Amino acid sequence: MIAFIAGQSAPPGKQMGHAGAIISSGSGTAQEKVQALISAGVRVAQEPSEVPLILKEQLSK
């Protein structure tokens, strides 16, 4: 599985993208979502353009 979380580059206090849209009571930030996915064994792309590169890498294993 590969994931990309939008809103990672948002400045503190500013919500951008879907990840920012569902922050509730100060929890559920983009970085918290990235860490949760990584903890679950999911590769997380930092940029959307990394998704095909990660996919190609995983398929070649």
Dist CA 31 CA 18 (whole Å): 13
Q: Are 33 and 39 in contact (CB under 8 A)?
A: no
- Catalytic positions, written as ranges: 18
Q: For residues 21 and 18, give the distance between their C-alpha atoms in angstroms, rounded to a whole number.
A: 5
